[in-house]
Structure 1
């Protein structure tokens, strides 16, 4: 004992040195204690809302994650704060408090994300939300409750108290020594491995910071497989032999199991059911990725999307190849994309342009006093009817390709106030709201077909109706769609209807996917593939023998699946464990089959190999674009900014637009000297006393400006939106440059802006109960129960005249009864 006494004294002295004083406990301990209490409370609340409530011990094991993280965080801050330099100590203290604020806020938001979706967020989710906060916040705030705000506000307020006031005492109490001793069990528990709770609570055990760390470790093992030369060959088609019109309608968040086509007892889609009986429908149609932007790539480009969370496909060189709109446009087709949602979310306007659509109609171009704002994204689906019909009838001698993307059935499933909701037996709450939204989308499909028939456009038009993805309501603990890799998220409806089908009716058998739509359309219009190849197979041909389909969640490294016949394998990247289902015996995926270790590893390798091939091809596409975008050019300059960047020429690609539509301008630039910073392009449009301005990152950041080669030219296409409320007439477009500091760069002759082109702004036609410019729209087509759904809200002539009159004033607002309310703010 005598020989051990000095070591014991040293341990006690070390413990005493590590013990915080009253002042240190206040500064560092309070900062860690409050987030601990807030997040533990949030976790308990989230667990109480799970479909299967975890028992008490499971809640303890889940809370233990926070009990371990924040005390360790406190200990690290305490050690760093013990350095002799007082300025360093003060900096550490301020930095710690500033760091806690975003960590606490993001952690609470992430737990709310789990409560809403049933899955954990990842780094991509956080970056996406921070980079596009103004557009993402309406989506997030729609699901937050008052206690989320209260918890963050109280936590941040108390955490900041030590920044402004701290006690003077440096004494060390026995309570402080006890708290330090309590740290050791937490550290020991980490080294020995945590006790795992039941399956339903297991995803919540890691703190958000831990989750990000282990995900980053997992991504280090990603392998991107370089593509074969044949995979990089561009797709080329020949002249269509039967150039019929093509209309694709993407049904937002409509799963097959929520339609009357696949469940006749469910009276949600009577119109779609009738069309399926008169045409073709696919019995086993599946989404590739459970997210709308990715579904657009799969459907309209015939290839798998980039398996990342952000919309990289909207950037130059971001697409996997040529899309259907681009291919048909080169063969003389007119192309247009319609959506009642906003244009800026996930860079939709850029994506549509990259795909090759000539015309894009979105919320701001469709906005009229008669249309209600449907949800946080946009307007009533019916706002697309009259503009879409008018566009389709513009040039009857040319075939057209139109795509409609509906909105009403997207979360949060709000419908216009005049709609009378149906009661679905034994279904209540959010599911009932969703089914009514699906019914409303079905009414849009009926109106659309009837409108084309009334105008004589349906005789030579093929219609394709399909879901972009399904929707989950907790069947497997997942909600909405982004992380719903089960059948309720993947199985979607597909109905083909129209006279170009030449009387073909019945069921399209076999496992099909959205990549099959493009080769089907090419077959219908009679356009042979002369170079390259399509990924999918025509829906009009037998399913390829031995076909294997792959699926992915929207969020990277969350879930990925493989489908072979009726066998389905889901890899959750280890959390929870992989699952396997026999869909013939277990169509609702209630019980996972057991797999041997060898089988599980082989299937995991196969699914991740697919992920690597897809990512590898996109990386190769981007690299190919970067290598070919610059070339030597000695053309004379029109203007030079700061003696560094010269303009060689510009071309307006769509000189005729309507208010709120973007004008696209392709310019050629040449750096005269190396750039050491990224400049911002300022594009401005002036029309009828109104000015619109856009800040544009050249090439959307694909090739950084400091990588531009002096003396080599580079082409960049930018956009600038015309003011929403402006008179018809000519608009002048000018460009300039701005440094990263916000200071404008002037040309060598002293100008800030240089005119590069002009566009003609046409009048935006008014919509009223009589239709659009004499085009009458049909009454609702509803089969079965009556549904009170007036065609259009009646608009007074005074409101219409006001909208077409003095545009310097704010547009009138029309209430639900059609009465003009000029004293209130604009509806949008």
Structure 2
């Protein structure tokens, strides 16, 4: 199955909704053909902390994401997209640079670590190609102080959530609707503290919200029993539904400005969230599937809808893929494109995280290598390796610490690291006290 160009059609918001009732997209092993739309605008939407298996289009039992589902029905959905980190800053920097965390140097939870100015970015390459560039983000870990503003004509934050920046997005689109543009929109909607509105609670039939101060302590008291995380899951799903409503409003803005028939839209997330599947809540400290499996959907004029089964790197492929679709030749981003076929060893995805104050707990610096059937977890701090057979153990609960398969995976990881040496060491960012407090409010403090 290939990605095909067909005659462009105007996909209005009404059409997007109608498509939900049509036959399911065809499932294919991988996109076999290149796709370009050099006259198109490019829009990147990132909903923070959104695990794929809580998105309706990925099979979740709750209707958490009707607007994202509508995009998936008319676009290419990647079923097995894995983030390159389990927290916001390194994953988004991988999106913007095409570099893995080990390469761009921002990996550890150090609040003053930023992207080096010498590293090329997606926005800078789009600007060089003649696109107007703008970003409206939730800030905090995406603050300009960390290098996220590099290459953007406009980089603005009015609040953490999609709703907070919607009016500015509307105004900016009105000013730039007649020129080619690259627009990046980000919101923390499903991130703690899991904000919902009454309409979200009604839509999902959620119980009354627990006391706000009680959520995090409850997670610690519940220990390893995932079934006790239901209050978290309810609030998380409600927050996803809230974010989805504003994704729908963003798509409506593109439609109202007459832009949908000449815009490429990529929707994704930086990481997921865990609810005691491995004894912890939230994200950042582990690299299991629940915190790395993210949605990845591309919608474009004439792009045939399908579902791609192949394992792909989510974060690091965003920038190179969008530049390729836009027809930007000789760009400086080194990462893989989603159009690239797997290498000789098959699909391989590497992710990592580091929280230095948890080194004594066996966490600290972690790295995973994933293939179609296995996961290798490397506890870098103490040198231990664990292998998971995800065919028989999809939840990654039964680690194997010896055997020939483990040795082969270790060798594969070593070859991968040799091919992806560090480019730079993350620079030091001047972070003001207000930003430090915002980081702490989201649980990012070391």
Q: What's the offset of the Cα at 1:464?
A: 0.6
1:287, 1:558 → 2: CA distance? 16
Distance 1:424 1:594 in 2: 42
Deviations 1:392-440 (A, max 9, x none): 2213332111111111200121234675452369983111100111111
Q: Secondary structure at the match of 1:413?
A: coil
The aligned residue for residue 337 of structure 1 is 135
Hey, what does 1:414 align to over in structure 2?
Answer: 195
- Counterpart in the other structure of 2:94: 298
The 1:355/1:241 distance shift into structure 2, 3 A limit, reads same
Could you list the runs of 5+ residues in structure 1 that have no partner in the other structure? 1-239, 364-377, 623-698, 702-717, 722-828
Tell me the residue number matched to 1:360.
Answer: 155
The question of 1:282 aligning with 2:78 is answered: yes
SS in 1 for 2:423: helix
Partners of 1:575 and 1:473 in 2: how far apart?
26
Give yes or no for contact 2:195–2:238 (8 Å, CA) kept in 1. Answer: no
Separation in 2, partners of 1:312, 1:615? 22
Whole-angstrom distance in 2 between the partners of 1:492 and 1:612? 27
Aligned counterparts of 2:108 and 2:230: Cα–Cα separation in 1: 35
Find the structure with the greater CA-based Rg.
1
Give me the whole-angstrom Cα distance separating, in 2, the residues matched to 1:611 and 1:310.
Answer: 23
Tell me which residue corresponds to 1:471: 273
For 1:315 and 1:256, how far apart are their aligned partners in 2?
27
What is the CA distance between 1:379 and its match in structure 2? 4.7
Structure 1 residue 466, shift from structure 2 partner: 0.4
- Residue 534 in structure 1 maps to residue 334 in structure 2: yes
Offset of 1:315 from its aligned partner?
5.3
Q: Deviations over 1:355-410 (max 9, x none)?
A: 311111212xxxxxxxxxxxxxx454212222112202213332111111111200
Contact 2:67 2:244 in 1 (8 A): yes
Q: Is the 8 A contact 2:44 2:185 kept in 1?
A: yes
2:59 maps to 263
- Where 1:432 maps in the other structure, the secondary structure is helix
**SS at 1:617 equivalent:** coil
Task: Confirm whether residue 423 of structure 1 aligns to residue 210 of structure 2.
Answer: no
Aligned to 1:310: 110
For residues 292-327 of structure 1, the C-alpha deviation after alignment (integer angstroms, 9 at most, x for no partner) is: 11111111211112233336663553x6x2111000
Post-superposition offset of 1:487: 0.5
What root-mean-square deviation, in Å, do the aligned CA atoms of Structure 1 and Structure 2 show? Answer: 3.2
Q: Distance in 2 between matches of 1:315 and 1:700?
A: 9
Give yes or no for contact 2:122–2:333 (8 Å, CA) kept in 1.
no
Offset, 1:593:
3.5
**SS of the counterpart of 1:247?**
strand
Distance (whole Å) between structure 2 residues aligned to residue 351 and residue 700 of structure 1: 6
Cα pair 1:280 1:504 within 8 Å, conserved: yes
Deviation at 1:590, TM superposition (A): 2.7
Q: Are residue 518 (structure 1) and residue 300 (structure 2) matched?
A: no
Could you tell me how far apart the structure 2 residues matched to 1:700 and 1:420 are? 40
Unaligned runs of 5+ residues in structure 2 are 1-35, 208-226, 357-363, 435-446
Deviation at 1:541, TM superposition (A): 4.6
CA–CA distance in 2 between the matches of 1:347 and 1:452? 24
* Separation of aligned partners in 2, 1:540 and 1:616: 25
- Conserved? CA contact 1:310–1:346, under 8 Å: no
Structure 1 residue 612, shift from structure 2 partner: 7.7
Q: Distance in 2 between matches of 1:618 and 1:565?
A: 30
Whole-angstrom CA distance in 2 between matches of 1:347 and 1:468: 11
Q: What residue in structure 2 maps to residue 504 of structure 1?
A: 304
Equivalent position of 1:436 in the other structure: 238
Aligned-pair CA distance for 1:533 = 5.8
> After superposition, where does 1:768-783 map in structure 2 within 5 Å?
none
2:257 equivalent to 1:462: no
Whole-Å separation in 1 of the counterparts to 2:268 and 2:37: 25
Give me the TM-score of the superposition, normalised by structure 2: 0.73
Equivalenced residues, count: 364
CA contact (8 A) 1:560 1:607 kept: no
Tell me how far 1:269 sits from its aligned partner. 1.1
Q: 2:175 aligns with which of 394, 414, 419?
A: 394
Q: How far apart are the structure 1 equivalents of 2:293 and 2:287?
A: 10
Whole-angstrom CA distance in 2 between matches of 1:286 and 1:589: 15
For 1:241 and 1:498, locate their aligned partners in 2 and report how far apart those are by CA, in whole Å: 8
In 2, the alpha carbon distance for the partners of 1:549 and 1:300 equals: 18
Within 1, Cα distance between the matches of 2:90 and 2:381?
24
Are the counterparts in 2 of residues 303 and 536 from structure 1 also a CA contact under 8 Å?
A: no
Paired residue secondary structure (1:322) = coil
C-alpha change, 1:450 and 1:354, in structure 2 (3 Å) is closer
Where 1:337 maps in the other structure, the secondary structure is strand
1:543-602 CA deviation, whole Å, 9 max, x = no partner?
444232211124264321111222111122477953211222222223224522x76466
Paired residue for 1:592?
A: 399
